[in-house]
Structure 1
Amino acid sequence: GFGGADLAINTIDSRQSYEQVLVGMLVSSASESDSGKRVRHIAYGVVELEDAALSGRKGTWIGYTADELMAEAKQKALGLIKNRFEFEEVKRERIAEYTGMSAIRFEFLKQSFEKKIVFSWERALNFEGDSGPYCQYTYSRARRILEKSGEDDGELDQSKITSDIEFELVKSMALSQYAVERTGREFKVNIFIEHINSLCTIFSRFYEQKHVLSAEGAERAARLKLVRSFVLLMEQLFHACGI
């Protein structure tokens, strides 16, 4: 059954958990194979706003369709970007669209599925940490370093990686593959998102503690190599989660 799939995953509201158990039992009883063991229910908590619950029957979801949510996210992001950065209007609009989208996706994906999700614009659009925009901003900082360097950083001289924060950054980047594998093994996307956030937090500390462009010689080259590795890794991680 299942069209040849090894595993059938139903992502349904946690309030339907009992019904999903019955589905598994019915599949098992109707088949002589192990089909029942190949049905997996991933339950998720209901989504609420800070000041209201969303209900299909009561119609409180009206005004909160995906398109309307994206439009509001863009407008809110645009307001924040205008206050923080100086961009041309066309570029500002484009950045606001991507920022709003990442804010929503990150805020939902970072949640533990079993828990009720209380959506907050303040948290979702927080440029100071634990949000899609924060991670994007950290990535853009790293990209800016590479653009300013104007050179290929060459081979890495590992002997120049000596500080605790540099070792911590290398270790965190190295753990990315483990985070991906654990996410797939446990069916918990928040593990992946937590790793991205942690990695960006560590890079921000590296950015604050270590001069890159003003360093000299092999030390500068080593730090540029760390920054380049971070940028390339973040591009892959962002692509994987649609941020």
Structure 2
Amino acid sequence: MIDQELYTKGGDLEKLGLGFDGPGKVFLVRGMSSFKGSGAGAFIKQKFGRREIDSFYGFNTNPQIADLKKGIDLFRNENYQIIIAIGGGSVIDMAKLISVFAHQSGDIENYVLGNKKISDKKTPLLAIPTTAGSGAEATHFSVLYIDKNKYSVACNALLPNYVYLTSEFSKNAGPYLTACAGIDAFSQAIESVWSVLGNNESLKYALEAISIIWDNLHKAVHLNSTGAKKQMAIASNLAGKAINISKTTAPHALSYSFTSYYSIPH
């Protein structure tokens, strides 16, 4: 498993040692309107504005294999030093998939369906979540849809190399998004608790996440509390760490069809 580096202060990003002021190009995977509305766009300009950046965006909220192939084709046109993903779980999942599948040969479907082993070769990835829910920055699997069927692609290389964890991008998130994201993290933590694949470490992460969410979700949703949203970002990451070990269970699998056929967020 990749030794992930977690950063919680903007100034710490300069410690990555990847030559962020150097000549290497950045492949940025991002959302659309949320990129500007959350302040993510201004952040990227401030931190990485001196680098040459190519952006990939406009893909489906539920990552489709056709979107992934477009992203890989765009990525392969240049030589990128690093991929930066800034957005919600779908954005981070898409970036994780591009970082690994851009280095695989043959049809992607064969890897997704488990017919071919995924190699560990990848482009380094910095994940910056703008919502507090999916915990995608902390897991070694990603979601991908093929013909309305949802697949969870898993391999050690999918875990982002670096994570910048902050609540600064969720300040402008409305009650509905905050609630959906928070319940996602809460549900994942609960599933981790009862998962037969869990261990003492995953249980510790999950119980801490549940406690934090229980104390802060209402304040984050109804009061737009800065402190509560900061705690929710931490809880989401903890829930992600928990399911990274235990994986999710039947309720999570059941949600796939609701998302595919009825556009109900899970």
More strand by share: 2
TM-score norm. by structure 1 comes to 0.29
TM-score norm. by structure 2 comes to 0.27
